[in-house]
Amino acid sequence: MSKIYINDSPGGDPKQEAFGHSHDTGNHYVARYVWLTNVRKWLWVWNADNDGGWDGDTPDTSYGTSECSNTPW
């Protein structure tokens, strides 16, 4: 996990840093996270950075969740 930039295409939302990863299928970032007391882990909620499209501002979509013992930073 590292810092990446999302919304970096022209015409969309302002470019910003996020914790996530980049690869051939695009950028995926941790949109939010919550502590799961019952399993004593963090639940990371991932989004796909969909900043393409004709206007550069396609809404981001859910990319799933994962549980981890560490925070995303």
The mean pLDDT values, 10 residues at a time, for the chain of 73 residues are 84 85 88 96 94 72 94 79
- Give the separation between CA 43 and CA 31, rounded to whole angstroms: 11
Kindly list the domain boundaries of the chain, sorted by start residue: 2-68
The residue among 46, 43, 40, 41 whose CA lies nearest residue 61 is 46
The answer to whether 55 touches 12, Cβ cutoff 8 Å, is yes
The pLDDT value recorded for residue 56 is 63
Predicted TM-score of the model (pTM): 0.82
User: What integer pLDDT is reported at residue 37 of this predicted model?
Assistant: 97
Query: Phi-psi region for residue 40, left (φ > 0), alpha (ψ -120 to 50) or beta?
Result: left
pLDDT score at 34:
95
